[in-house]
């Protein structure tokens, strides 16, 4: 009898395993571990075998599984989008037009736009409205081959709305095939009433919000926008140090707009990841590499803001583990397009196609501290795989900006199929 979550994929032109159980640093990022004419066996949601089709079929009988013939198609691990802000109310299309005429991100924030605009809209939205929009966004992400996504709060900056966002993510995680990993990011911006009183705001989060988040298991990570005119190095250090003591894993929005020293702080605190890093210093990058902090780069944001890209080539050449993510959010990067991220990374950031695949699979998994269970096609990991329309992973950036994902398997269940039967 066929058990739920049991699937056999055979005859793949190549199975790109991205094999590993930890982040790949530096030169390791180019190692994809490809099986030609490959097969993958998943039983009850867990990968049981991977290898040449002929050998796998000697050990596993096709009538025990749902079978997918992947002739002339490439099979890869599901993508991990390790940095998004997927739960929010309202949109900011008008701000996009402001930026097109030359207004910069910080000036928009200073006149009530930016994050604070989304805060107002998210406070006004009901949980039902937020869940409905989140589910639609997750559907779109799934179609691009994303099987696990990180989502941040941060559009509340208070108790009730921050908790509301996290509750929505928790509910979406239960209802949607994608796994949603939640991050508490109350320290995303500073409300006007707390300007010059940022320490009091941090105290509020530490005493009134974060204990409830931990107790109710609403978030795994704590993140902070460590940036000039937002939260300083000292303020970020205090918040994140206390967060670690409370049981959070930690991340940073670091060195996005000015070289503040966020990368160095991430290394000091041994954060799981430091994200953005457009202005990260040589010293900070090398410190992150030594400390094993994942450098999560968000090329869609630099593209949208017309800023210089993070120095991905320098980071990889200096032994960093680089991940790529969309930074999907309503303001600075309103896109969930994985093909766009591949195109920008390979064409403009000096990342090879192989490194980009690693950055969106095993290193994306490491950026949410799950490289032991997702991010590669290895025995014992979750059965999260994607099947492309083409015979090689090299078609992903080559077919510029176009989705090449044909099928998505999540926990051994076919949950997306572009081909209409």
The answer on whether 160 is annotated among ligand-binding residues is no
d(CA 63, CA 138): 32
228: which 2 tokens?
A: 């000039």
92 annotated binding-site participant: yes
Query: Is 238 labelled as part of a ligand binding site?
Result: no
82 is in an annotated binding site: no
399 marked as part of a ligand binding site = no
Parallel, antiparallel or unpaired: strands 46-52 and 66-69 = unpaired
Is 309 assigned a ligand-binding role in the annotation? no
The answer to whether the annotation marks 232 as part of a ligand binding site is: no
85 is in an annotated binding site: yes
Residue 22 assigned ligand-binding role? no
Q: Is 159 annotated as a binding residue?
A: no
C-alpha of 256 from chain center:
17
Phi (first) and psi of residue 226, to 5 degrees: -85, 100
Question: Per residue in 340-356, is it b (16+ CB within 10 Å) or e — as a string?
Answer: bbbbbbbeebbbebbbb
Enumerate the known binding-site residues for Zn(2+).
83, 85, 253, 327
Enumerate the known binding-site residues for N-formimidoyl-L-glutamate.
155, 329, 331
Enumerate the known binding-site residues for 4-imidazolone-5-propanoate.
92, 155, 188, 256, 332
Enumerate the known binding-site residues for Fe(3+).
83, 85, 253, 327
Enumerate the known binding-site residues.
83, 85, 92, 155, 188, 253, 256, 327, 329, 331-332
């Amino acid at each position: 009898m066929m058990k739920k979550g049991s699937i056999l994929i055979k005859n793949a032109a190549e199975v790109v395993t991205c094999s590993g159980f930890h982040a790949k640093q530096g030169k390791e990022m180019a190692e994809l571990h490809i099986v030609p004419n490959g097969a993958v066996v998943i039983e009850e949601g867990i990968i049981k075998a991977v290898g040449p089709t002929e050998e796998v079929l000697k050990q596993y009988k096709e009538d025990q599984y749902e079978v997918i013939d992947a002739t002339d198609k490439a099979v890869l691990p599901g993508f991990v989008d390790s940095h998004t802000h997927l739960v929010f109310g309202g949109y900011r299309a008008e701000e996009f037009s402001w930026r097109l005429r030359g207004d910069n991100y910080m000036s928009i924030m200073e006149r009530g736009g930016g994050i604070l605009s989304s805060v107002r809209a998210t406070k006004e939205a009901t949980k039902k409205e937020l869940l409905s929009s989140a589910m639609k966004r997750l559907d779109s992400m799934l179609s691009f081959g994303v099987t696990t996504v990180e989502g941040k709060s941060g559009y509340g900056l208070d108790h009730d709305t921050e908790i509301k966002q996290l509750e929505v993510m928790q509910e979406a995680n239960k209802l949607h095939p994608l796994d949603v990993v939640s991050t508490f990011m109350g320290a995303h911006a500073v409300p006007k009433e707390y300007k010059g009183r940022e320490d009091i705001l941090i105290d509020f989060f530490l005493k009134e919000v974060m204990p409830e988040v931990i107790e109710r298991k609403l978030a795994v990570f704590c993140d902070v926008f460590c940036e000039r005119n937002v939260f300083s190095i000292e303020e970020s250090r205090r918040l994140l140090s206390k967060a670690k003591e409370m049981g959070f894993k930690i991340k940073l929005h670091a060195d996005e707009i000015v070289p503040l020293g966020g990368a160095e702080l991430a290394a000091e605190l041994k954060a799981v990841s430091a994200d953005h890093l457009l202005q990260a210093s040589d010293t900070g990058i090398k410190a992150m590499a030594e400390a094993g902090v994942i450098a999560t780069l968000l090329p869609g944001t630099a593209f949208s803001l017309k800023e210089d890209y993070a120095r991905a080539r320098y980071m990889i050449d200096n032994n960093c583990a680089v991940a790529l993510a969309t930074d999907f959010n309503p303001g600075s990067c309103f896109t969930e397009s994985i093909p766009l991220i591949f195109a920008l990374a390979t064409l403009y950031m000096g990342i090879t196609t192989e490194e980009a695949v690693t950055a969106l699979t095993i290193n994306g998994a490491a950026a949410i501290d799950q490289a032991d269970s997702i991010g590669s096609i290895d025995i014992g990991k979750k059965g999260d795989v994607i099947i492309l329309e083409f015979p090689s992973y090299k078609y992903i950036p080559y077919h510029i900006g176009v989705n090449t994902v044909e099928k998505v398997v999540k926990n051994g269940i076919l949950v997306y199929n572009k081909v209409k039967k």
